Amino acid sequence: MKNRLKVLRAERNWSQADLADHLEVSRQSVNAIETGKYDPSLPLAFRIARVFAMPIEQIFSDETEVSA
């Protein structure tokens, strides 16, 4: 699964530690999600969407999806 976490975080001038604080997870977790090594659970994905005030599908996308 691909995500735009790094870009969205950069737009807000947040460090990984800042985002980790917002999400109440470790910085290690934020880094693993950003680098695609870990796909978050649905509750965490919703929390991320709430923090960025965006729908989930604008943050995460399925890599296997064929673009039209």
Chain contacts with another protein (rule: CB under 8 A): 16-18, 20-29, 31-33, 37-38, 40-41, 44
CA distance 54 to 32: 21
Residue with tokens 């673009």: 67
If the CB atoms of residues 22 and 65 are measured against another protein, the closer one turns out to be 22
CA distance 16 to 64: 27
Write down the least CB distance from residue 41 to another protein, Å.
6
- Tokens for 9? 């975080």
Write down the least CB distance from residue 17 to another protein, Å.
6
Write down the least CB distance from residue 35 to another protein, Å.
9
